[in-house]
């Protein structure tokens, strides 16, 4: 089997060229690459919990949790450890192999980080992978999380550097890259992606993907969110993205980052079964499962299970890290043969 070359030197025109391919050519190319690296009929599922909700100092224009917008959200302080562990146990029983915890912070204080580490430790003891998204991290905080055994850290680029100022003013695109560097240098798996449907252009989508694909190492996980429009935020009322343009963007993410898990994230409640199916064909292979995202509704679990069944997709207690190890071994033995 010929191996796709993993590149980190993509040009913007080249990526725009991929986005503009005839749809069938694009999906064929993405699915071909997908099959070289993954079981095409397997998806990884993670569950999500908001461990600290609302009153955030940042002004992210899409977010229900910013203190700057009146979104009618019920705020919550950092949850007690046992409540979080109970939620993780319930998610495990439903088949989730990874538990992701999100907090509405610009960045965690060192005291809060220790509370969150207690959660990570207890959830690892359940045999689940852990993921956190807590905002910006300093170098020493990233190292502390690595010591505690954290598997993944999610920090999204959100959009292109060019469009970024239209979405967020309280921190910069460079701040985001710096946090990703701290996470990567600490040896934690990186989860980073963005949001589509905020009024960005196709060139912006290409530019965001270029930033992700040209990182020194590709993020292990790339969440592609479709904007969930929250009343009261500046992004409310934007024209939704064309579903086929969303699928194209997923396909190009797969082509640029062949070994990454491409995650269908926010916005699935608004996606048809057919759009889900096209996203899987385009190379999406992981998703958030469970009734809630952080503060908004996710696609219903029963509907997801029925869809997996109709598409012949499996997700049994699949552990991404083990799978990645298996892939490496397989590649090793292919190289030796």
- State yes or no: residue 62 binds ligand SAM (CB under 6 A): yes
Catalytic residue among 98, 100, 248, 268: 100
Member of 56, 150, 227, 241 binding ligand SF4 (CB under 6 A)? 56
**For ligand SAM, the closer CB: 69 or 315:** 69
Helices (H) and strands (E) in the chain, counts: 11, 9
- State yes or no: residue 223 binds ligand DTB (CB under 6 A): yes
CA-based angle 31:37:39, to the nearest 5? 75
**For ligand SAM, the closer CB: 37 or 219:** 219
Beta carbons of 187 and 146 less than 8 angstroms apart? yes
Strands (E), 138-293: 152-154, 189-191, 194-196, 221-226, 261-264, 286-288
Residues within window 197-256 making contact with ligand SAM, judged by CB under 6 A: 225, 227-228, 230
| Whether 330 is catalytic | no
**For ligand DTB, the closer CB: 26 or 208:** 208
- State yes or no: residue 228 binds ligand DTB (CB under 6 A): yes
- State yes or no: residue 154 binds ligand DTB (CB under 6 A): yes
- State yes or no: residue 58 binds ligand SF4 (CB under 6 A): yes
Phi, psi at 148, each rounded to 5°:
-75, -10
| Whether 191 is catalytic | yes
Q: Give the closest residue to 258 by CA, choosing from 3, 12, 44, 19.
A: 3
Distance CA 334, CA 337 (A): 5
| Whether 263 is catalytic | yes
Residue with tokens 């892939």: 327
User: Residue 213 Cβ, how far from ligand SF4 at the closest point, in Å?
Assistant: 23
3-state DSSP assignment of residue 251: helix
Beta carbons of 190 and 180 less than 8 angstroms apart? yes
Taking CB under 6 A as the binding criterion, the range among 5-13, 74-82, 271-279, 294-302 that sits at the site for ligand DTB is: 294-302
User: Residue 63 Cβ, how far from ligand SAM at the closest point, in Å?
Assistant: 5
DSSP H stretches of helix in 96-172 = 110-125, 139-147
The β-bridge relationship of strands 221-226 and 194-196 is parallel
- Angle, helix 81-93 to helix 110-125, in steps of 10 degrees: 40
**The pair of three-digit structure tokens given for residue 305, joined into one six-digit string:** 């299970």
Residues within window 62-121 making contact with ligand SF4, judged by CB under 6 A: 63, 65-66, 104, 106
Residue 247 binds: one of ligand DTB, ligand SAM, ligand SF4, none (C-beta under 5 to 8 A by kind)? none
| Whether 279 is catalytic | no
Catalytic residue among 29, 106, 184, 191: 191
Note the residues at the interface with ligand SF4 (CB under 6 A): 56, 58, 60, 63, 65-66, 104, 106, 135
What residues are annotated to the active site? 56, 60, 63, 100, 131, 191, 263
């Amino acid at each position: 089997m010929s191996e796709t070359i993993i590149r980190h030197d993509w040009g913007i025109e080249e990526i725009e060229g991929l986005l503009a391919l005839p749809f069938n050519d694009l999906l064929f190319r993405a699915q071909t690459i997908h099959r070289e690296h993954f079981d095409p009929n397997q998806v990884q599922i993670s569950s999500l919990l908001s461990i600290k909700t609302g009153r955030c100092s940042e002004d992210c224009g899409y977010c229900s949790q910013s203190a700057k917008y009146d979104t009618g959200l019920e705020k919550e302080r950092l949850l007690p450890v046992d409540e979080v562990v109970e939620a993780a146990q319930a998610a495990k029983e439903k088949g989730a192999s990874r538990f992701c915890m999100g907090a509405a912070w610009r960045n965690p204080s060192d005291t809060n980080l220790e509370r969150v580490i207690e959660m990570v430790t207890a959830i690892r003891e359940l045999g689940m992978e852990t993921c956190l998204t807590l905002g910006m991290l300093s170098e020493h905080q990233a190292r502390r999380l690595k010591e505690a055994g954290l598997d993944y850290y999610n920090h999204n680029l959100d959009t292109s550097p060019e469009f970024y100022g239209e979405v967020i003013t309280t921190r910069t695109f460079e701040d985001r890259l710096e946090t990703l560097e701290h996470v990567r240098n600490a040896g934690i798996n990186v989860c980073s992606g963005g949001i589509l449907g905020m009024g960005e252009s196709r060139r912006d989508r290409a530019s965001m993907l270029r930033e992700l694909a040209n990182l020194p190492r590709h993020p292990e996980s790339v969440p592609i969110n479709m904007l969930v429009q929250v009343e009261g935020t500046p992004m409310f009322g934007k024209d939704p993205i064309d579903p086929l343009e969303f699928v194209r963007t997923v396909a190009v993410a797969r082509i640029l980052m062949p070994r990454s898990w491409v995650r269908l994230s926010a916005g699935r409640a608004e996606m048809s079964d057919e759009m889900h199916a096209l996203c899987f064909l385009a190379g999406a292979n992981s998703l958030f499962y469970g009734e809630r995202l952080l503060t908004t509704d996710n696609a219903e679990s029963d509907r997801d299970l029925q869809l997996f069944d109709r598409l012949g997709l499996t997700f049994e207690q699949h552990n991404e890290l083990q799978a990645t190890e298996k892939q490496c071994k397989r590649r090793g033995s292919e190289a030796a043969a």
